[in-house]
Structure 1
């Protein structure tokens, strides 16, 4: 598709034998082992060059095997360049000045090594002038230090690829960024970083260069991270911020405000684009982008918008791992927003106040006496209970349930987070707790909320299924506040 070519430089379509071969070669030369091996060979090569200069000046004999090793290393790097040209094409590869310089250095050092191999034959040693000519060439080979710097550049790019996994990346025109065009005017990306973090995430200066090159004066950036920021001057002060915690949800009012803001910005100029990011450019980013897709009527249902975002953010040519919104609460809130759009015409639903009366946990290990429950509203803890405080915990062994009867729960309204803590061996995942979930009181029907394992944050992850059985679920009962 045109969108795929916009992002990756290659269309999504049937693959030819040549493209399959290129893909295999790409996986080899871009592998972590291949790059580390290349860096080690560069160090070995530089050591051989320095030894050559020192030993030659002392008139000691250098064995032919030494020359052969140096030649083999030069041939390895020549083959590396040849394979990269095969993958990217001559014009694209050599459009990068660093690639051109590196290729020139590799060719020169290869020719120097070949010259030395021939010089080691006794016949050529009888020509004194040849010795005078070859001696300065030893110094020329020290420019391989630049090649080491180029190898470091490859390693940084590879590290960023490994961190981003199989998220669709922008790989065109000399850019290599964890950045995806979800639509022609909506971009999702990971956090633009500086310092040490830029080694494995998008370097902020490269992101700025990309946006100034491709969309100069026509972009706005949204930072959805509550935990980290950067100087808005990088992006010419065109940065908006929504404070959302990692692996958590925005409020419905934030989703409405965001979608309206983006629609207004897009309407100002048909060239305007919007760039949205959180840390990884997936969960919080996807939640807000899906809200915009629904608000702008690109999609009518939450399911369609969620599926589309996941398809666009995932590079299936690398792996089949899904790179869409995986956190159940984030999926739930996209569903809520679809109702806000379709039922309430982008106005917030009427406020509903409830108190939480009872929590039933199905198929949990143990009797539940070590469980603690924390309720958070408007980013502040409003209630806490344990076996000895504000609750009575009953373990029903026959039905494999733990029933927590709450007392003194305050009125709850709008977005509510329920967080379960434990002093047992239950592993902690996101949010430093065994499991949690978000809900919105306005969408609670019949004063009951039932969430299966796949609808709870943390137990939804396959790595947690050894602890949480398929029957694991949480059921909550409420009372109306009169």
Structure 2
């Protein structure tokens, strides 16, 4: 449009055909800028967009230049030779659109952000620490995102270099990417060749063979280091990604509680030192027996420690139970001198954290812990 304005201003009044073509092209460009403004208002909201003075000026320039272009294109100004200054003013006013062009060029990144937000619709975006990505943490170790793109697709999807920068910043040397797209891939060097490809067609489910291979790979990666995470994506980060994330939540890697105590981890501390620890999800150092009839769970310690004197028992949970004191859902102290008949019962009110009434919507009236002992 810079060229169009300069050519238009330099033409004589006799160049009618050329001028008409220039006016048509200029009109198309003006409408393009109007649509751009309307899309920004739609995505950001009317109040938010026009809270910026620069945006107000920008919108005024677009509207004024569009009106002037329409007047210049559709009005007969042949008789305006009597007032040449008016015609010159109308032509020169179109120079204002140059301001719009330079502003649009300077806001390339902002335009890309707006476009990506429209494509991601109502999905959660990661907008912290200088990142703005169609990406979210499903759990602390499972990340869901849309396709890491390059070229033109990076305008409205996650730019692959930004995704790599995010993962290298947050989980350096401890992440693996799972690409569930059968239709396209990318150079794995962006993610240091830690990329696994599972071929799943769009709007389809994976084969059982592929799902077993995927879960086995994830379990092996997660077990290698407690800091390891996985980043899962398909194209839009919805159907196929959701299936893969759900399978790992249901499976071993990030087991969610089902009321059977599998989310618990028990720590026994004697004389300020960790004497024993068991993980119920993996049945590590313990055996777990759900007692659904009594709304209880029995945790049988394997090779439990010999305790004497003051003992602290802490219960941690991966179920998202609210944490209180000691950064855990509940804990308690006892002294072995108070144990009678190898049994000790603590009610809800005697457990630290559940003793508070604000937690009673989670810990019901019959909640408690019973300790059973055997002689060494």
Question: TM-score, with normalisation over the residues of structure 1?
Answer: 0.35
Question: TM-score, with normalisation over the residues of structure 2?
Answer: 0.42
Rg larger in structure: 2
